Amino acid sequence: MSIPPIFKGDVPANYEKYSGASVFEPYALHLIEQIQNDKIKNVLEIACGTGRVTNHLAKLIPDNGIFYATDISVDMVTVAKKIVANKKIKWQIEDAQALSFDNASFDHVVCQFGVMFFQDKSKAFAEVNRVLEMNGKFIFNTWDAIEYNPRAVLVKRVMRDVFNDVPEELIKGVHFFSDKKEIRQLLEKAGFKNIHIMAVQKLSNYNTVDDIINAVTTGSFSSAFLSEKSIEQQDIFRQVLKNEIIGSYGEKNITIPMQALVCQCTK
């Protein structure tokens, strides 16, 4: 599995700095709420990113339990380890499509906003099923369609207005794995049952418009594309985007709705 640009270099640190608390923390807390009353002992987190879910998961693991926090990106894990300090966590580099763990090793597998990037989702889901014990739970979230995420709609519109060569996959961004029927079919194919998929809306909160600008340009799915443009083009994009955000949401204490799909199933 190749590693997307969002997971490399300086992007992970900026991803956490500008979007960690505002975008990912609300959904991390929501995932934890879904499993906090479960009987939890041995847990695997895949695509742990900068550790937003990891931080809360570690508190649920009993002293005799096992907790692996894994990601395919060394740079993501490096950032996470600096932020999350808990001796219960075993950090490991793993490709979700070829997990190194034994069959039936875990009672829970958790993933926040990672499944979209798995090139072979059928293979990844089959691997999750393999490492889960019978009746074990797989819970993950994925961004809902772009039309339910107004910040993404605005950013992509500005990108198209400013640039003539925006790839279609960049326009879809991280919102391309949002078909409930497709998700259900892939999970069923992998052997899962009791599949529940629900749309969950949260609010992203930013102190200033510049936080959003920096999130988009230095710590997002779009960063690599933008970094290839001339300084002049980048400046134009930043200014146009800033004007659009201020016009729609103001300049400070900005609140924008966002929506994801939260999926739960059992082996």
CB neighbours of residue 197 within 10 Å? 15
Mean of pLDDT values over 154-181: 90
Element (H, E) at 208: strand 193-208
- Return the CATH class of domain 5-146+174-204+257-266: alpha beta
| 70: its two tokens | 């894994």
Of 65, 71, 52, nearest to 8 (Cα)? 71
pLDDT, residue 109, reads 98
How far is it, in rounded angstroms, from Cα 126 to Cα 110?
A: 14
pLDDT, residue 168, reads 83
| 210: its two tokens | 């510049």
pTM: 0.93
pLDDT, residue 3, reads 47
Q: From the centroid of its chain, how far is CA 261?
A: 11
Range scoring the smallest mean pLDDT among 131-140, 141-150, 157-166: 157-166
**Quick check: 2 pLDDT over 50?**
no
Please compute, for residue 135, the number of CA atoms within 13 A of its CA located in the half-sphere on the CB side. 3
Contacts for 84 with CB less than 8 Å, ≥ 6 apart? 51, 54, 55, 58, 69
Q: From the centroid of its chain, how far is CA 92?
A: 18
CB neighbours of residue 218 within 10 Å? 18
How far is it, in rounded angstroms, from Cα 21 to Cα 34?
A: 19
Residue recorded with tokens 């695509």:
47
Residues linked to residue 117 through DSSP beta bridges, in sequence order: none
Report residue 155's pLDDT band, with 50, 70 and 90 as the boundaries. very high
pLDDT, residue 169, reads 80
Instruction: State whether residue 10 is helix, strand or coil.
Output: coil
How far is it, in rounded angstroms, from Cα 260 to Cα 141?
A: 7
How far is it, in rounded angstroms, from Cα 72 to Cα 104?
A: 21
How far is it, in rounded angstroms, from Cα 262 to Cα 52?
A: 16
Cβ atoms of 130 and 138 within 8 Å: the answer is no
| 65: its two tokens | 């339990």
pLDDT, residue 221, reads 85
Instruction: State whether residue 200 is helix, strand or coil.
Output: strand
Cβ atoms of 144 and 191 within 8 Å: the answer is no
How far is it, in rounded angstroms, from Cα 43 to Cα 187?
A: 19
| 225: its two tokens | 């594309």
Average of per-residue pLDDT values in the chain: 94
